[in-house]
Amino acid sequence: PRNNLMTNQVRLVFGEVPESLDDFIFASQSVQAEAMKYFVEMWRGHKFADKTGILWWNLRDGWPILSDAITDYYGGKKIAYAFLRNVQRDVCVMINDPVDGKYQLIAVNDNLVGHEGSVRVTDAASGKTVYKGRFTVPVNGRTVIAGIPEREGQGMLKIEYTVDGCSYTNHYLYGSAPFSLDDYRSWGSGLDY
């Protein structure tokens, strides 16, 4: 059942199940990583507005198996490990789904001190800057930095931000599935995960 579930999820997101084992591993781990990232960002992005947190589990597989654990039986970190580490930083900048035709660019802070930073959002395929600016996020709070006009088609927005002299990256996958596995791989190249 679990193997069929993953195969079906890969088919839904990428339109087909890759025949190459390496491509299947990348596709299945990417589907898992994007889903887990989405859920964490959805809850964090609505912090105290209408949501207050999320609890997820299955950190490590107890035996070799296809699963939604973020590390495999042998201790190898899956793509989801890096995605989740990234979106669970104390201060994180993310994009949530569109509201009134605009993607919500949000900063979330889980610290007991406020923070300031800078952010740049680019289109992964063209490299064109979509938004650039500064932000302030209060103690244990969230800030809607900007509304970025919703984009046509499919793609990925790369988010580069700096807080307290440290630089981080994030991304937002937009459009409706199925996505081309080659496009997805290309858009994600250069992400610091």
**Spatial distance between the Cα atoms of 117 and 172, rounded to a whole number of angstroms:** 19
Q: What is the pLDDT of residue 60?
A: 85
Per-residue pLDDT band for 137 (boundaries 50, 70, 90) equals very high
Query: Does residue 30 come out as left (phi exceeding 0), alpha (psi in the -120 to 50 range) or beta?
Result: alpha
Task: Give the DSSP H/E element, type plus range, for residue 81.
Answer: helix 79-87
Residue pLDDT, tens place only, 16-26? 999 999 999 99
Please name which of 89, 88, 69 lies closest in space to residue 80, comparing C-alpha atoms: 69
Strands of 155-163's sheet in order across? 129-137, 115-123, 155-163, 166-174
**Spatial distance between the Cα atoms of 128 and 142, rounded to a whole number of angstroms:** 27
Please name which of 9, 59, 11 lies closest in space to residue 34, comparing C-alpha atoms: 9
pTM: 0.93
Residue pLDDT, tens place only, 72-95? 999 999 999 999 999 999 999 999
pLDDT at 193 > cutoff 80: no
Query: Does residue 160 come out as left (phi exceeding 0), alpha (psi in the -120 to 50 range) or beta?
Result: beta
- Count how many residues are written for the chain: 193
Q: Vertex 192, ends 114 and 141: CA angle to 5°?
A: 20
Specify the higher pLDDT residue, 77 or 2: 77
Q: Are the C-beta atoms of 43 and 55 separated by less than 8 Å?
A: no
Q: What is the pLDDT of residue 58?
A: 81
Mean pLDDT of the chain: 93
